[in-house]
Structure 1
Amino acid sequence: MRTLVALLVAGLTLSGAPTAHAADPPVTVTLSRSSVAVSSLNTVPVTVTVEGSYSNLSFTKDLFVQFKRTGGTGPLTEISSMPLPLIEGDGTPGVWKGTVNVPSTTNGTLEATTVDAYEFVAGEPASNPVPVANLPKLTVSGVHIPKVVSLLTPKVVPYDKPWTVRYTVLDSQTGKPYGTKLKLLFGFEERCLENSPGESVLTDTSGNFTRAFPANRYGDYTSCLEIPGKPTKIAYLETRVKRPADITAAPSKTSAPVGTIVPVNGSVVQGTNCQVILQRLYGASAWRAVGSSTVRVSGRFTLTAQPSYKGNIPYRVYLPTCFDKVAGTTKPFTIRGT
């Protein structure tokens, strides 16, 4: 009886176990040309053909090819092809054919490295990648490459003040705008985190787009602008708002016997988890660290000073650059050793 049960259990286990999916072998990718010249905001289509087996097809049966820049000076380091439809076979094996739209911002050498059933997103891992066997190369000669710059006003935004961000698209070769209105995509916060600004905006003929934001003590907005392409963006820039240190501190005592520990209490606006450093003045201008701590969830911190000699000893608290906050210090204060 025990033997029969054991056999039945073993049979269920074996029949219910998932079968391992063997990885598809590398596919072959060919390009219709080995070099291309691209100017300014344009893209040039290059025909891409994939041959081989890809068993994990999506419902569309399309494939995408990822291209990575392996040389040159273009600001864009990777792009994706358009969806390549299956034109022959069932995919195991099959032939797929379509285009990759090459922008000037990939100036240099592109290499077809990976194939997937999902579009490649810059900085994100592939879903079900299959390597390319021959790694075909495409030399891109980009001229009048677009450059996106931004300007925050003010450069460091107080927590109780509004601010603006201005993006400008320039011809990096001439340093001048293209002289026409440009359709761009703009976003902030979650849109930038997802690397997908979605609001369609229009620049002026000088290539400028400006967005104003109201004062927001708790909104340290990151904004982003994209020059869209098909499917990969041509250029992209994120701009993070910089906030002041906004740090204050004071000793619990202004005088104490030499060697006595004196708590120094302070606060940092929106500074949770930032490091703070107690500094003491040596000589006429040398501020040196004598202690450190971390800002609590409440925004407050406590450091300890210890007068080492009799007389007035200058201290201050320093906040290094932290998240969006610029570095800054408190006003100096004095503890008198007695």
Structure 2
Amino acid sequence: MLSLIPAAPALAAPAADTTPPQVHSITFAKASSTVSGLQTELVGVRVRLTDETGVQPIEYQASQELASPWLKMSAAPNSFVLLRLAEGTEQDGIWTGAIPVTSAWSGTIEPVGIYAMDQTFANALDIDPRTVIDTPSLQVQSSHRPGLDMIFSPEPLPAGQPVTQRIRAWDTTTGQPWANLPVSLSTDNGCVEPGGVVSVRTRSDGTYQRTLSAEVAQWLQCAWVPGVNQPTMPYPMTVIASDGGHVRTQRYSVGATPAATSVPAGTNVDVNGNVTPLQKGKVLQLQRLYPDNSWRKVNTGKVRDSGRYTIVATPPGKATYSYRVYAPGDDLAVGGVSKVFTIRGT
């Protein structure tokens, strides 16, 4: 005789996790910080995160700017704080980090972003935490931040020639040169990835210089004053001050022609011309020569997509006025000026 055994009910498959991690609280270890000069104060932060499958810790990789989870602060540099699990579980835990407070910050600092990926790599929390929870703030009082400036000579750099890289450092509170200041230098990938760093110190006059070969000079150059790195995030490193850029190999060439050279005083005159190399939207200055022999800005205009521009000149009185058009230097090229031209007011 055939025995019938009731089939066991089928178990429903667990529902897929379709929600991102949630933030429940953020607390700082203190409410205020006072820093000066090269000091770095590491202020603790605690963040409670929950997720059904668990928050996924992701280590830093040079190919991605930041890891996970992280907290973003309302100041720069050093805006991001990497968090790591300190208590509880990845499903419900306290994630902690250290906020690197330096003299680069001042005033009220607060968390303005939080990011956390879950274990499925499909759901991410990416919000301003102020929109969902009460968030703390940190009052920072700072002074004597180092200033850093990097220039190259000669510029524009002739092809195949070496260049002198010069670093100048000063105290932004007093304006005085900063002697014996530790400065880190790097080139190309070393500006955004670990490795290739040269550590130097400024001389008694607050400067440091070195010669770069033509091969090295073609790449991005960077300099920074290092601070103390976060224990959870040795890179990107803590930066107190920085500067960087490429050695420029071009100078702006500016043509300028007034539509008229003699008009009644107070009449507008279009000044037309072209600028190379092309920088669409670049703001140009119309300058007029004043009696004290100084050139002063009297109007501005923008470079159109064609490389041409129009600026209006207005001779204010019955006299002959000297004008020129100035293209300020930028990352693309060294500044350049047009030939001087005159417009007579009658």
Normalising TM by the smaller chain, what interval? 0.5 to 0.7
Give the alignment of 1:86-125 within 5 angstroms.
Answer: 86-116=85-115
Task: Give distance in 2, aligned partners of 1:201 and 1:155.
Answer: 25
Post-superposition CA distance 1:132-156 (Å, at most 9, x none): 3222110110111111112322243
Give the alignment of 1:35-74 within 5 angstroms.
Answer: 35-54=32-51, 55-58=54-57, 63-69=69-75
Amino acid paired to 1:149: D
- What's the C-alpha RMSD, in Å, of the aligned pairs? 4.2
Task: Give distance in 2, aligned partners of 1:162 and 1:103.
Answer: 36
Post-superposition CA distance 1:5-24 (Å, at most 9, x none): xxxxxxxxxx9xx9562122
How many equivalent pairs are there?
250
Task: Give distance in 1, aligned partners of 2:148 and 2:92.
Answer: 43
Q: Secondary structure at the match of 1:26?
A: strand
Post-superposition CA distance 1:76-97 (Å, at most 9, x none): 355233x443232212211123
Amino acid paired to 1:67: M
Q: Are 2:248 and 1:242 aligned?
A: yes
Task: Give distance in 2, aligned partners of 1:288 and 1:80.
Answer: 48
Q: Contact 2:58 / 2:69 at 8 angstroms: preserved in 1?
A: no
- The two structures have a TM-score, normalised by structure 2, of 0.58
Q: Contact 2:78 / 2:100 at 8 angstroms: preserved in 1?
A: no
Post-superposition CA distance 1:248-291 (Å, at most 9, x none): xxxxxxxxxxxxxxxxxxxxxxxxxxxxx875566669994378
Task: Give distance in 2, aligned partners of 1:320 and 1:107.
Answer: 31
Segments of structure 1 that go 5 or more residues without pairing to the other structure are 1-14, 70-75, 119-126, 248-276, 296-302, 304-317, 333-338
Task: Give distance in 2, aligned partners of 1:112 and 1:143.
Answer: 22
What's the CA shift for 1:167? 1.4
Amino acid paired to 1:167: I
What's the CA shift for 1:64? 3.3
Counterpart position of 1:124 = none
Q: Are 2:272 and 1:289 aligned?
A: yes
Counterpart position of 1:5 = none
Q: Contact 1:186 / 1:224 at 8 angstroms: preserved in 2?
A: yes
Segments of structure 2 that go 5 or more residues without pairing to the other structure are 1-12, 60-66, 118-123, 231-237, 263-268, 279-306, 308-325, 341-346
Give the alignment of 1:162-177 within 5 angstroms.
Answer: 162-177=162-177
State the identity as a percent: 22
Q: Secondary structure at the match of 1:106?
A: coil
Task: Give distance in 2, aligned partners of 1:282 and 1:78.
Answer: 51
Q: Secondary structure at the match of 1:105?
A: coil
Amino acid paired to 2:112: T
Say if 1:142 and 1:215 are closer, same or farther in 2 by CA, change over 3 A.
same
Say if 1:161 and 1:47 are closer, same or farther in 2 by CA, change over 3 A.
same
Task: Give distance in 1, aligned partners of 2:103 and 2:273.
Answer: 53
Task: Give distance in 1, aligned partners of 2:185 and 2:154.
Answer: 20
Counterpart position of 1:268 = none
Task: Give distance in 2, aligned partners of 1:173 and 1:114.
Answer: 31
Give the alignment of 1:252-271 within 5 angstroms.
Answer: none
Say if 1:162 and 1:62 are closer, same or farther in 2 by CA, change over 3 A.
closer
Q: Are 2:221 and 1:213 aligned?
A: no
Post-superposition CA distance 1:161-186 (Å, at most 9, x none): 4321211232111222444351x322
